[in-house]
Amino acid sequence: MRHRWKRRLRRLPAKKWLAAGFVLTIPVLALAASCGGPPKNPHDLCAVFDEKRSWYRATRRSFKDWGVPEAIQMAVIYQESGFRRKVRPPRRKILWIFPGPRPSSAYGYAQVVEPTWRDFQESTGRRRAERDDFADVAHFLGWYGDHIHRATGVAKHDAFRLYLAYHEGPRGYARGDYRGEPSLLAGARSVATRASLYQRQYMGCRKRLANWWALW
């Protein structure tokens, strides 16, 4: 029986072999595009979601679970890492030459520090969640946004104040620690502006993205 199948495979025309290889290659290429580096056009949310369908699904699920809009999630990730998955803060210099320690343990798409990430893992039961996994990070942003909302009363659609509390933590935000940090305030304004832009763009493609064929 084994030899019979081998003879049949040898008799397959070359065109059929090529067609089979092409069909098998399509899902692989789609997966690679979805899980690769930063999107080609990070300034257009519809273009980002068209290119990274898994990112659309992840932010959509996070919104349904926690209520933080997709546009705000994406604006925060853009601000923190430029959609790069393995970013860390640059090392300090010793004597202006030698690399020293990093200023914090922040890492990944959303530059989350290790203690906060451990709290997220324990609270949600997602023990294997990683800071360089986009779906895990989207879920984290929803979870942390919900935590901020319950602790401070900041609305989940208020990108400016959510970002301030994201950096300072709920207690630091309540104390107003951000008032003495002009660079943080500028960053929060950038996040709010981008979130507003992303939301307008998203309203134009949301229905199309929600179609069943767009989820493949």
Collapsed DSSP state (helix, strand, coil) of residue 99: strand
Exposure of 94 in the CB half-sphere (CA atoms within 13 A): 5
Q: Is the pLDDT of residue 144 over 80?
A: yes
Q: Is the pLDDT of residue 104 over 80?
A: no
- Write the DSSP assignment of 94-132 as a string of letters: ETTTEE---SS--BTTTTB-HHHHHHHHHHHT-TT--TT
For the ranges 83-92, 141-150, 198-207, the lowest mean pLDDT is seen at 83-92
Q: What is the pLDDT of residue 24?
A: 41
Please give the Cα distance from 203 to 201 (Å, whole number).
Answer: 5
Q: Is the pLDDT of residue 64 over 50?
A: yes
Q: What is the pLDDT averaged over residues 186-202? A: 98
DSSP annotation of 94: E
Write the single-letter amino acid at 57.
Answer: R
Q: Is the pLDDT of residue 70 over 90?
A: yes
Q: What is the pLDDT of residues 156-176, one digit of tens each?
A: 999 999 999 999 999 999 999
Q: What is the pLDDT averaged over residues 49-64? A: 97
Q: What is the pLDDT of residue 100?
A: 41
Residues across the chain:
216
Q: What is the pLDDT of residue 212?
A: 59
Q: Band of the pLDDT at 83, cuts 50, 70, 90? A: very high
Q: What is the pLDDT of residue 26?
A: 42
Q: Report in angstroms the alpha-carbon separations of 209 from 80, 167, 171.
A: 25, 31, 38
Q: Is residue 49 within 8 Å of residue 63, measured between CB atoms? A: no
Q: What is the pLDDT of residue 20?
A: 40
Write the single-letter amino acid at 151.
Answer: A
Q: Is the pLDDT of residue 142 over 70?
A: yes
Q: Band of the pLDDT at 105, cuts 50, 70, 90? A: confident
Q: Band of the pLDDT at 12, cuts 50, 70, 90? A: very low
